Amino acid sequence: MSATTSDADGSAPPASGAWRPGDPPGRRRFARLFTDAPLPLELRGSLGPLDVAYETWGEPDATRSNGVLVCHALTGDSHAAGPEQPGHPSPGWWDGLIGPGRALDTRRFWVVCANVLGGCQGTTGPASLAEDGRPWGSRWPRTTVRDQAAVEVALSDALGVDRWALVVGGSMGGMRVLEWAVGWPERVRAAAPIGCGAASSAEQIALQTVQMEAITGDPRWRGGDYHDAAPGEGPHHGLGVARRLAQVTYRSEAELAERFGRAPQTGEDPLADGRYAVQSYLDHHADKLARRFDAGTYVALTQAMNDHDVGRGRGGVEAALAGVAAPTLVVGIDSDRLYPLHQQRELAEAIPDAELAVLTSIHGHDGFLIDTDQLGDLLRPVLAAGAEP
């Protein structure tokens, strides 16, 4: 199935898979932030007011000191736990980690996850309407991971949280964890960045640039102003190519070999214009993303990941990480070829009170989303440290 073709039910994907006001809200709650003064952006300009979609699980204690902030990755959103339902086309992406008796035990902790700045699932981003009533589209400013964290800080203020027991997240979410720990150390009792580095490497920038070029080179991109296009007329081909490449980097060579090898897709002959099973797998992920995500958001957030550098304006990476005050668990994945283990080792060596934990997984970078039982066991000690008064 190609990202540019109709689904099995004959429907074409919408121009944008973004959530829009009037769609079922699901479990989302909404906060309107920066109403008195806009958010100054790290690089240039400002934004505000901003709408932020978030979800919570469990209950806050009397002092709101039992909060855990979960930071999602590139194509994640606020729906970290819970079933598929109207407003949420997929089950929670960390469902195995959040809930009664799980590592993020909602009988003890109040868990909060917000859709990131620039996102497309309820938080202001390229698909959102600007003050003039038109989608931001090509007018969306360049925002950084540090800007994303600043919005989460403002949400924390709105929720009455002075200090989080734990700030945790993987990939782009791990980058925000680092920004929290460096930029707002007094508000973090414990930190757990997963599957990320202190700054994006040349290879990561290169891989992610190819993905952005695939989208912006799609004729239906229209410079970023495609949101009023008819179903099937959005930049789905470019978004699909980007997703296919990303999906390969998210998984390991060993897993792809074990799952697919050179097997043909069922009922198809690859030597007669059919597909190999692994090609069908990539087509599926491309089509699925086109129906729940926005191409402009993909470009904006990927650019933010390319720009990630926790040492920028802080005297360099080592100086910045030396200021982290919270006990920190740095989690790396042994088969991760996108954010290789040496990057997490370097983080753990540079942060004063840090420990490196290795997640053993065949699944590559996506191991933090799949091997949640093992990850939960790794997180329990740092959760206990953050829960201490």
Positions marked active-site: 171, 336, 365
What the block records as the tokens of 142 is 């360049």
DSSP bridge pairs for 51:
32
Radius of gyration for the alpha carbons in the chain, expressed in angstroms and rounded: 20
In terms of phi and psi (left: phi > 0; alpha: psi -120 to 50; beta: otherwise), the region of 305 is alpha
CA distance 96 to 308: 28
Residue type (1 letter), 221:
W
Residue type (1 letter), 377:
D
What are the φ/ψ torsions at residue 174 (nearest 5 degrees)? -65, -35
Residue 360 CA to its chain's centroid (Å): 21
List Cα–Cα distances, 241 to 11, 22, 300, in angstroms: 20, 30, 16
CA distance 79 to 90: 9
DSSP 8-state symbol, 73? -
CA distance 381 to 275: 46
Assess contact for 221 and 238: CB atoms under 8 A.
Answer: yes
CA dihedral 10, 234, 212, 81 (to 10 degrees): -60
**220-234 CB burial, b ≥16 within 10 A, e <16:** bbbebbbbeeeebeb
List Cα–Cα distances, 185 to 110, 162, 164, 179, 375, in angstroms: 20, 11, 10, 9, 24
